[in-house]
Structure 1
Amino acid sequence: MASEDRLNYVVKQVTKNLGLKNYKYTRIGLDETIENYLGELEFITITGETDDGEIKKDIVVKFAPNSAELREWGALDVVYRVETAVYTVLLAHFKRLAKFDTRELFPEFLYSDCEQYKEVLAVSNMCSNGFRRCAGNRFLDADHMLVSLKSLAKFHALSMILKNDIKKTEDWNNLVPNCFEYPPKYTTSLRLYHGRGI
């Protein structure tokens, strides 16, 4: 579980980005923190005031795992930079091209930090909008598989349009497709990390 100071800092940044005043937050499901080799997820609810009244926001905060091996192999740098670029660069272009509210398929981006040893990502918790996490089963059922494939097809079609439409920015360069050979540190680290059962 992330330190209280670190979580307080992230919440402060999120509330600043949302323009909230007099806010408070609570951790949800303290016994339900989810951790894997790429991050530790914490679920929190923030309530605060804006000029338009009080709002409540359920968010998911993903902290980088405390793993010397992943840092040494360079995996965390790749993962957090790519994910931040997806939310801040790619989805903005998708929204423009597809003319649909990207929040129908993707969580709302709220805050990120890619600096080494501070890697974190905060997004809205889509379970508040009727989505449910897949739990208790290793594989998706037919209905979830169909929704996933349709969303992936839409995402892929828009990415083909973007190849000829987007300027080559540093953030776009972070979105080079992952494959077995690239980026070498990333794929090697995940294979080694997973194989060791760390």
Structure 2
Amino acid sequence: MNILEDDFLNKIAENVAKSCDLENWKFKRHENIKTIENYFGILVPLTVTGRRNESEEELHLLLKLKPETAEDRMKLVLKYLYDTEHYVYTRLFPLFGSCQLNVDDISPKCFYADMQPGHEVIVLQNMTFSGFMRYPNRFLDYHHAIVALKSLAKYHSLSLISIESGKISTENDFVKPYTDTHPVELNIALKLCLESHSQLLKGEKCEKFLRSLAERYNNIRVDSFNKSKLIVFGHGDYWKENILFKYVNEKPTQACILDYQMVQLMSASQDFLTFLLVSVDTKTRMENYENFISAYIKSLDSILIEHNIDTQRIVVDFQHDLKVVAENCVIMAVMAFALWYGLEDQTLVKSKDTTDKVNAEKRFTQTICEILNDLNRIGLVRL
């Protein structure tokens, strides 16, 4: 069914109104707002209004649907990603709720979800109407990074509490660790990207290291989970484009986490470190690395202590895992920056066209070398 057909939108609005106990409801399409299609879904803005308890309510929504133009080889991948986000909103977050844990201040509320073939939709709160917005620059500054890490810590703490309480088992049939074989298409893409772009660092001391990552790829991917200790239902794609910020007096005070398609069992350290590599520049990262760790751990501890979880053990496991996951985080960063600088044309998703490939390659080389040199100075990798 066409996503913009009134019958389709009316049915969605009806289910949203029912879930919110709205009477005399109606919906409004935003004709002046362009439907947005990204790598992993289509976003359609919608407003539903109605009456509840004698007062008028207005719900600003984003309908999230599967991409319409997926290549044949990508259809199974996109189905898995979409199904994962559906699981997070309809199963994982409600399980957090059963532990009296609230995600509403760090994630959009889900009003309705449907997985019937041809009718797949996830209906989310449009956070921009609550004062949240994207950060416009390429890298986050210190204050935005701190706020983002506090939200990540809360998300991880909810996962840890749910696992420790026995509400959620890590032995489940759906959200699994990413390995050297799962998901297949992602691994093909990551390895191709690593092999093809390592040559751009020719003559650099980092080239040999990247080539060794490609050679040891399978072991790195497996070990990043098997040898880690602090396992959570990690976000898997936590970087600045999947975060919205809210401000008070022009200062960031809250961070809202978006796009849960790549949620997986993983080390909390992997979410943390990948975020620092792809969302913060080298100067900010190196000047504030210990501050970033402290802010994350302090936020994690403040919630875990209330649930009688041994925070000393958590800190030790977190520090242990940073070394375990560092090389895997580099692999993810290589793909992230190859996409950002417009150098990908043959892997999981294609980059946007770039008109200055030579300059893009120089920026890519500089960024990856900065990442590797930073990790070497911190002591997480050895060049």
Structure 1: any 5+ residue segments left out of the alignment? none
Q: Hey, which of these two has a bigger chunk of helix by percent? A: 2
Partner residue in 2 for 1:22: 24
By how many angstroms is 1:151 displaced? Answer: 1.4
Distance 1:178 1:141, change over 3 A: farther
By how many angstroms is 1:121 displaced? Answer: 0.7
- CA distance in structure 2 between the partners assigned to 1:196 and 1:105 by the alignment: 29
Distance 1:169 1:39, change over 3 A: same
- Which stretch shows the higher mean deviation, 55-64 or 152-161? 152-161
- CA distance in structure 2 between the partners assigned to 1:110 and 1:189 by the alignment: 34
- CA distance in structure 2 between the partners assigned to 1:178 and 1:168 by the alignment: 17
Residues 104-154 of structure 1 show CA distances to partners (whole Å, capped at 9, x for unaligned) of 11111111122333321101112222222x164344343332222121122
Secondary structure of the 1:105 match is coil
Q: How does 1:174-185 map to 2 (within 5 A)?
A: 174-179=174-179, 181-185=181-185
Distance 1:136 1:122, change over 3 A: same
Partner amino acid, structure 1, of 2:137:
N
- CA distance in structure 1 between the partners assigned to 2:109 and 2:142 by the alignment: 27
Secondary structure of the 2:24 match is strand
Q: Number of residues paired by the alignment?
A: 195
By how many angstroms is 1:4 displaced? Answer: 2.0
Partner residue in 2 for 1:74: 76
- CA distance in structure 2 between the partners assigned to 1:94 and 1:57 by the alignment: 24
Partner residue in 1 for 2:147: 147
Q: Hey, which of these two has a bigger chunk of strand by percent? A: 1
Residues 160-195 of structure 1 show CA distances to partners (whole Å, capped at 9, x for unaligned) of 33334135599x532223455322256658973413
Distance 1:141 1:52, change over 3 A: farther
1:103 and 2:104 matched: yes
- CA distance in structure 2 between the partners assigned to 1:153 and 1:123 by the alignment: 22
Partner residue in 1 for 2:9: 7
Q: How does 1:1-198 map to 2 (within 5 A)?
A: 2-5=3-6, 6-28=8-30, 30-69=32-71, 73-97=75-99, 99=100, 101-132=102-133, 134=134, 136-164=136-164, 165-168=166-169, 173-179=173-179, 181-185=181-185, 192-195=347-350
Percent identity over paired residues: 33
- CA distance in structure 2 between the partners assigned to 1:180 and 1:14 by the alignment: 40
Alpha-carbon RMSD across the aligned residues, in angstroms, is: 3.2
Residues 5-31 of structure 1 show CA distances to partners (whole Å, capped at 9, x for unaligned) of 332322222122222222122233633
Distance 1:67 1:188, change over 3 A: farther
- CA distance in structure 1 between the partners assigned to 2:349 and 2:186 by the alignment: 12
Greater C-alpha radius of gyration = 2
Structure 2: any 5+ residue segments left out of the alignment? 191-345, 354-383
By how many angstroms is 1:59 displaced? Answer: 0.8
By how many angstroms is 1:96 displaced? Answer: 4.4
By how many angstroms is 1:46 displaced? Answer: 1.0
